[in-house]
Amino acid sequence: MADKIDTDCLTLTRFLIDQQRKCPGATGSLTILLNQLMTAVKAIASAVKRAGIANLYGIAGTQNTTGDEQKKLDVLANDLFINMLSSSGQACMLISEENEEPVIVPEENRGKYIVTFDPLDGSSNIDCLVSIGSIWGIYEKKTEGPPTAADVLRPGTELVSAGYALYGSGTMVVLTTGCGLYGFTLDPNIGDFVLTHPEIFIKPRGKIYSTNEGYEKYWDSKVKKYVDSLKNPEDEKKSPYGARYIGSMVADVHRTFLYGGIFLYPANTKSPNGKLRLLYESNPMAFMMEEAGGKATDGKKRVMEIVPTQIHERCPVFMGSPYDVDDCMKILGEA
């Protein structure tokens, strides 16, 4: 018997239109922008699947603005994001991990949104076929005149939407427009994203911690104490937390959303300001984490309240289940 076909599936486009109807004064411009963004995601997903055949593995011979070597897929993904978003007619400026300066959309194509993005997160895992992803955040421009970097140096509390795409055994998009967190899986039969994870809520407490323990020798003593408390709980009746770390923020945080626990990328003596970029990694993920009922902090305050001073600013990150983050903050706040 042939597989049943859902004749009334909730696609991402249909979902966005439904959300749009609930917002008085909505013009549909954000829906158009996100649909263009999904075109880039689909193209990247296709490229990831055929990367070996298409000779897209390996180093492209250049470095991005943060000093990471650019992979061939990095360059392709960045070009796709820039071209799709610039041609949407809804964006005025783009902030990419791969570009040192903001990308200003030509005046004839400008809209009202500023999009920040990491086009291919976890690219060090490309050659070994581990899950990678894309992350983005969307702000609305508040000022008159041509866009400048100052227009995006705002806290994450001003984001209007954020999301990520995960490229693995399938392709999944998780996003928020400020009304909850939802997950969509790409159905190759119809070429569209279909709602598969309605209203994602993180568990109040998890059993997994995710961090790169290879940097433990460079951690602050309080971070070491917190991680040790997970591995060696004082209460003998409590089981130790399990350790899971992929090295791709999208994959590690996605697992945290689904199973609970905590993801942490603390500052250390080698990276005193942390490693993750605020505008296109930490803030979008923090927005989604809070929409799912979780918490996100830099170890001192809420990530989304940090006001950046430069577009590639970094910050430490501790995010996940609310009780786990509270436990972490309690130890980090000790005198």
Q: What gap in Å lies between CA 67 and CA 65, rounded to an integer?
A: 6
Burial tier of 237 (Cβ tally within 10 Å: 0-12, 13-18, 19+): exposed
The residue from 33, 73, 76, 97 that is catalytic is 97
The residue from 33, 37, 98, 291 that is catalytic is 98
The residue from 16, 118, 230, 276 that is catalytic is 118
The residue from 121, 290, 291, 324 that is catalytic is 121
Q: Respond yes or no: is residue 121 known to be catalytic.
A: yes
* Contacting residues for 205 by C-beta, under 8 A, at least 6 apart: 260, 321, 322, 323, 324
Token pair belonging to 63: 């470095």
The residue from 120, 166, 186, 276 that is catalytic is 120
The residue from 18, 68, 69, 213 that is catalytic is 68
Q: Respond yes or no: is residue 151 known to be catalytic.
A: no
* Strands (E) located in 26-160: 59-63, 69-71, 91-96, 103-104, 113-121, 132-140
The residue from 16, 37, 74, 332 that is catalytic is 74
Q: Respond yes or no: is residue 235 known to be catalytic.
A: no
Q: Respond yes or no: is residue 6 known to be catalytic.
A: no
Q: Respond yes or no: is residue 68 known to be catalytic.
A: yes
Q: Respond yes or no: is residue 74 known to be catalytic.
A: yes
Contact 133, 285 (CB under 8 A): no
Torsion of CA 170, 246, 101, 91, to 10 degrees: 30
What's phi and psi for 318, nearest 5 deg?
Answer: -135, 110
The residue from 252, 281, 291, 298 that is catalytic is 281
Q: Active-site positions?
A: 68, 74, 97-98, 118, 120-121, 281
